[in-house]
Amino acid sequence: MHELAVCQSFITQVERLARHHNAFAVDRIVIAIGDLSGVEPELLQRAFTIARAGTLASAAQLEIQTGNIRVSCQTCGAQSDAKANRLLCAQCGDWRVKVIAGEELMLVSLELSEIPSHTPGETACATPAAAQ
């Protein structure tokens, strides 16, 4: 499944960011998927429940934002919304358009549970890194 590979690469990216911020868990992941990205949001959501197991994101929620397709017309210069199966300028109907939105597949934001640095050594379980 293509979506599983996509998901795994997102989780690799998310874990790297989480470690960078000293987080011990990822609570929420927001991903933007364009209609032309070739990724099915439903399949990605399902793949996520498999890919997150055993990672810092194992209890994270995945929010998927899907966006409209926007094209810029090479003939009249107008920018308009378009459909994946009908990439035409809404203004003049020309097919010579450039896709300016809709191909994205990216991480938008993350919510992390961070180790509080202002309360050092409060309880043993608050600093799992020290247990090693």
Binding residues vs Zn ion (CB under 5 A): 73, 75-76, 78, 89, 91-92, 94
Q: Decide: 57 and 30 in contact? Cβ < 8 Å.
A: no
Closest approach of Cβ 82 to Zn ion, in Å?
11
Kindly tell me which of 17 and 76 has the beta carbon lying closer to Zn ion: 76
DSSP codes joined into one string, 48-103: HHHHTTTSTTTT-EEEEEEE-EEEEETTT--EEEEBTTB---TTT--S-EEEEES-
Kindly tell me which of 57 and 97 has the beta carbon lying closer to Zn ion: 97
Kindly tell me which of 43 and 76 has the beta carbon lying closer to Zn ion: 76
Closest approach of Cβ 86 to Zn ion, in Å?
14
User: How many CB atoms are closer than 10 A to CB 95?
Assistant: 12
Closest approach of Cβ 81 to Zn ion, in Å?
13
